[in-house]
């Protein structure tokens, strides 16, 4: 929780009006680069069979030794989808965040976690933001979805729909699963940058995996301090784009009259997807 006792740890004193800062790549220490490299290698080994193909392809394309240079990523992103990443000191206000997305700019935190936070960190750092979020910005459909989400966010702010829209972000951009011809995979950044949840979300019999249904998602609460109890499964990024293209204003109206769904339960009408067993492969030994 971000409270006065637990303030944001980034340095917000040198930023521009839009909350951006220079990455200052030369200022990272050798220890920072080595830590990022260890995080990358642990996570890269866990991707096959768990992450969607396009994520795996682009994460390697964007990879470098140690902490990546934003400038180089921006050359690749610019060519692929016209997105850019901008450095930020950490979490930024909702309206600022949405405006960046609506202009195809993804805010990436510039600082890296400490070695003792290898497995778990409370605030997003450069590893979560870059490793988790940037690869899919290379995918044209996902890139368009995120821009539309930014526009939708500015609209939600004026309609009082922010809480509902935040659930959609959580259950897609951060913790989404996708059904592919090869099996269930994840495209969610919160999972992809997590050493434990990437295995759990695909293999574990514990969580519910529910086929994506827009209103169902926006009715569902989420927990930020533990593995998710429910994941929502899309068929394609096209589906995501299509189903969120409608005007959300009437949806927000309806949602105000609908009950909130606890993430630990399923409800009538849910189409469930079974977990994938990887017992017959070598992957468990890599975990
Ligand atoms: N179509 C939504 C609206 O009218 C905006 C949106 C687009 C939301 C894409 C999420 C994702 O508010
Ligand atoms: Fe994130």
pLDDT per residue over 183-224, tens digit each? 999 999 999 999 999 999 999 999 999 999 999 999 999 999
Residues 71-96 pLDDT 10s: 999 999 999 999 999 999 999 999 99
Ligand 1, pocket-test mutation among 97, 141, 152, most atoms within 8 A of CB: 152
Buried residues in 126-151 as b, exposed as e (16+ CB within 10 A): bbbbbbbbbbbbbbebbbbbbbbbbe
247 lines ligand 1 (CB under 6 A): yes
Whether the CB of 149 sits within 6 Å of ligand 1: yes
Encode pLDDT of 2-37 as tens digits. 555 667 899 999 999 999 999 999 999 999 999 999
pLDDT of the residue at 2: 52
- Tell how far the Cα of 142 is from the centroid of ligand 1, in angstroms: 13
pLDDT score for 274: 86
Ligand 2 mean position to 131 CA, how many Å?
A: 10
Tell me the backbone φ, ψ of residue 283, rounded to 5 degrees: -65, -35
Q: Tell how far the Cα of 98 is from the centroid of ligand 1, in angstroms.
A: 12
Tell me, using a 6 A CB cutoff, whether residue 152 lines ligand 1: yes
Q: Which ligand is nearest to the CA of 154?
A: 1
Task: Determine if ligand 1 sits within 6 Å of the CB of residue 148.
Answer: yes
- Residue 161 beta carbon below 6 angstroms from any ligand 1 atom: no
Kindly state the percentage of the chain with pLDDT values over 90: 91
Give the model confidence (pLDDT) of 117-172 as tens digits: 999 898 999 999 999 999 999 999 999 999 999 999 999 999 999 999 999 999 99
d(CA 257, ligand 1 centre) in Å:
20
Residue 286 has pLDDT above 60, yes or no: no
Backbone angles phi, psi at 252, to 5 degrees: -60, -40
Please report, for the chain, the start and end positions of each structural domain, with discontinuous segments joined by +: 25-286
Name which residue sits closest to atom 4 of ligand 1, judged by CA. 247
Reading the block at residue 89, the tokens are 């000191």
Tokens representing residue 128 in the block: 């979560």
Q: Which ligand is nearest to the CA of 170?
A: 2
How far is Cα 117 from Cα 151, in angstroms, rounded to an integer?
A: 34
Which of the listed CATH numbers 1.10.800.10, 3.10.20.30, 3.40.30.10, 1.10.3720.10 matches domain 25-286? 1.10.800.10
DSSP the chain: --BTTB---S--SS--TTS-B---GGGS-HHHHHHHHHHHHHHHHH-TTTB-HHHHHHHHHT--SSSPPHHHHHHHHHHHTS-EEEEESS---HHHHHHHHHTTEEEEE-----GGGSS--SS--HIIIIIIITGGGGSHHHHHHHHHHHHHHHHHHHHT-HHHHHHHHIIIIIT-EEEETTEEEE--HHHHT-TTHHHHHHH-SSSEEEE--HHHHHHB---SSS--SEEEEES-HHHHHHHTSS--HHHHHHHHHSPPBPTT---TTPPB-PPPP-TTSSHHHH-
What percent of the chain stands above pLDDT 70? Answer: 94
CA of 239 to the centre of ligand 1 (A): 13
Ligand nearest to the CA of 243: 1
Ligand 1 contact, 244 CB (< 6 A): yes
Q: Kindly report the pTM of this predicted structure.
A: 0.94
């Amino acid at each position: 929780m971000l409270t006065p006792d637990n303030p944001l740890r980034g340095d917000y004193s040198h930023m521009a009006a839009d909350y951006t800062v220079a990455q200052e790549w030369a200022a990272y220490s050798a220890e920072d680069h080595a830590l990022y490299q260890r995080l990358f290698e642990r996570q890269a080994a866990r991707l096959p069979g768990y992450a969607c193909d396009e994520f795996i392809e682009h994460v390697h394309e964007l990879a470098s030794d140690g902490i990546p240079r934003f400038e180089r990523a921006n050359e690749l992103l610019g060519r692929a989808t016209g997105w850019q990443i901008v450095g930020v000191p950490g979490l930024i206000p909702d309206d600022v965040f949405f405006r960046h997305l609506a202009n195809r700019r993804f805010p990436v935190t510039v600082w890296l976690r400490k070695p003792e936070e290898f497995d778990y960190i409370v605030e997003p750092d450069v590893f979560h933001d870059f490793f988790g979020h940037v690869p899919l910005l290379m995918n044209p459909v996902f890139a368009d979805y995120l821009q539309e989400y930014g526009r939708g966010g500015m609209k939600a702010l004026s309609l009082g729909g922010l809480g509902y829209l935040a659930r959609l972000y959580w259950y897609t951009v951060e913790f989404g699963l996708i059904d592919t011809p090869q099996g269930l995979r994840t495209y969610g950044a919160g999972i992809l940058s997590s050493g434990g949840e990437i295995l759990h979300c695909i293999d574990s019999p514990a969580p519910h995996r529910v086929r994506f249904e827009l209103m169902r998602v926006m009715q569902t609460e989420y927990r930020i301090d533990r593995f998710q109890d429910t994941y929502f499964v899309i068929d394609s990024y096209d589906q995501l784009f299509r189903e969120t293209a409608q005007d959300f204003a009437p949806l927000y109206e309806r949602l105000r009259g609908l009950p909130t769904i606890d993430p630990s339960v399923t409800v009538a009408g849910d189409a469930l997807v079974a977990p994938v067993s990887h017992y017959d492969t070598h992957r468990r030994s890599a975990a």
